[in-house]
Amino acid sequence: MQKKIDIYNHVLPPAYFELVKQHSKDAGLVKRMAGLPLLWDLEARAKMLAEQFPDVVQVLTLSAPAPEMLGDAQQSPAFARVANDGMAEICRRWPEQFPAFVASLPMNNVPEALKEMDRAINELGARGVQLITSVNGRPLDEPEFFPVFEAMANKHRLPVWMHPFRPGTRADYPGEERSRYEIWQVLGWPFESSVAMARMVFSGLLEKLPELRLITHHCGGMIPYFAGRAESLWAQLGSRSADGSEADVLKRLSKPPIEYFKMFYGDTVLGGSRAALRCGIEFFGVDHVVFASDCPFDPEGGPMFIREGIRSIEELGLSEEDNEKLYLGNALRLMRLKHLGGQS
């Protein structure tokens, strides 16, 4: 049986969930979290995996809200420590199901984020960090955040998991109070991923940090499916603006923009869509796609996205070698692990 690493799924350690209840201003989000027991009842989550998916292990990432979404620059470092200590404890208690976790950082306090990165990786054993696609609305390509990416690329040499977020209060049209029909999430989140990726490409972040490994949720958002449009229109960057100054951006990049987008990694979280997954794999290449589920945010509250994600891969009819890369090999390489449960 092919062992599988689910590299992008979510938890709320109980102590952090209490902080969410106390400090979150989003009542809808708290309601959603409370209705998903497998998000915070990790004993039940481990039991579900053992019984239904004995071939799957999960690398844990924190569910939104991130620490900087819960508190100011003075509060968020303590919130991040609670989250990371909680995930490390879950991994200690159920190592067979949860062999590793990804740290969260207080991104509204970069000096403390760097300290927490070192603590979580060096002392707790985190195998990367997770960032939201914007820091409370601020783009990740702002110079203030560069040291975080630099440390991950050149010091720790571990990946960054990038998770989209767009609030329901951001309306779809001017003049409306909020987004309708949950468009803010269904369509807005892949858009937010795509915007963050583009800003990283054109700001030169990947040019400066060629060793940076970024894992995008939902297989690169919109980018693989609009690759032709992205390649042909961004090749004319600056032609649509009055002063044309953005054309200079292309001169500062050493290769075509589309090649930088292919440096990202995509996960298989596409709701079980085989066609979308095939498109993502064709864009990124099989070496840059990793199996993930988004568990437990499915209509069944846990198992459905795991099951459907596996089905979408199996229906592609890939070679045994490519399946091994998607399910296991790529994730181990990214996290610099020789095998599950032990560091390289």
pLDDT digits over 86-119, tens only? 999 999 999 999 999 999 999 999 999 999 999 9
Mean pLDDT of 280-285: 98
The token pair at 285 is 């290449």
* pTM summary value: 0.96
Cross-strand partners of 59: 100
Q: What percent of the chain has pLDDT over 90?
A: 92
Each residue's pLDDT tens digit, 33-65: 889 999 999 999 999 999 999 999 999 999 999
User: What is the reported pLDDT for 25?
Assistant: 83
340: pLDDT strictly greater than 80 = no
Mean pLDDT of 264-276: 97
Superfamily of domain 4-334: Metal-dependent hydrolases (3.20.20.140)
Residue 2 near residue 324, CB atoms below 8 Å: yes
User: What is the reported pLDDT for 171?
Assistant: 97
Mean pLDDT of 231-244: 89
What kind and span of H or E run contains 30?
helix 27-34
Each residue's pLDDT tens digit, 166-178: 999 999 999 999 9
341: pLDDT strictly greater than 70 = no
Question: Confidence band (pLDDT; 50, 70, 90) for 342?
Answer: very low
Amino acid of residue 122: N
Each residue's pLDDT tens digit, 304-316: 999 999 999 999 9
Question: Confidence band (pLDDT; 50, 70, 90) for 343?
Answer: very low
What 3-state class would DSSP assign to 149?
helix
What kind and span of H or E run contains 290?
strand 289-290
Residue 289 near residue 281, CB atoms below 8 Å: yes
Cross-strand partners of 138: 135
**Which phi and psi angles does 276 have, rounded to 5°?**
-65, -40
Tokens 């292919």, residue located? 262
Residue 255 Cα distances to 73, 261, 294, angstroms: 38, 11, 33
How high does pLDDT run on average in the chain? 95
User: What is the domain partition of the chain in residue ranges?
Assistant: 4-334
245: pLDDT strictly greater than 90 = no
Mean pLDDT of 262-282: 97
